Amino acid sequence: MTDWLALIYPYAKAFHVMAVISWMAGLFYLPRLFVYHAERGQTPEPAGSFVVMEDKLLRLIMNPAMIATWVSGLFLVLTPGIVDWSMAWPWTKAACVLGMTWFHMWCARQRRLLQARQGHSGRRYRIMNEVPTLLMVGIVVSVIVKF
């Protein structure tokens, strides 16, 4: 099992980076849509198009990309010699990845609240838009610097 993982390791890592890029694109863009939805989606017509864009982005891109990131990431974790758990970086990366997954769930909840016209203000979504940026810094520094 682990020999096979070592063999596919470069491909698993390439797939992981592609999945991460797709997931992050959605995590950066969806809260931005929420800002516009909260500030300009008062009339039924624009509100309807925001709902469609948010639904499609979450269901067709972000959910599959999150699953692909997790599956490929776990393949990498199980590959022998890749993760040294006595170092700090796997733990900081894991903490930030859990934070990113929480943020994904938070976005999914906000999408439902905005559809029910119970969302937060545009300003709140602008602030929350910084969360994935901070977590991304933590993840990339962990996995590249490997402290």
**Residue 27, interface with ligand HEM (CB under 6 A)?**
no
Residue 56 to residue 79: CA distance in whole angstroms? 34
- CA trace torsion 31, 110, 121, 131 (10° rounding): -40
**Residue 20, interface with ligand HEM (CB under 6 A)?**
yes
**Residue with Cβ nearer ligand HEM (30 or 100):** 100
Phi, psi dihedral angles at 79 (to 5 degrees): -70, 130
Binding residue (CB under 6 A) for ligand HEM from 30, 33, 57, 139: 139
Residue nearest to ligand HEM (CB): 73
DSSP-derived 3-state class of residue 124? helix
Site mask for ligand HEM (CB under 6 A), range 36-65, x = bound: ------------------------------
Count of alpha carbons within 13 angstroms of residue 15, beta-carbon side = 17
Annotated binding site for heme: 16, 93
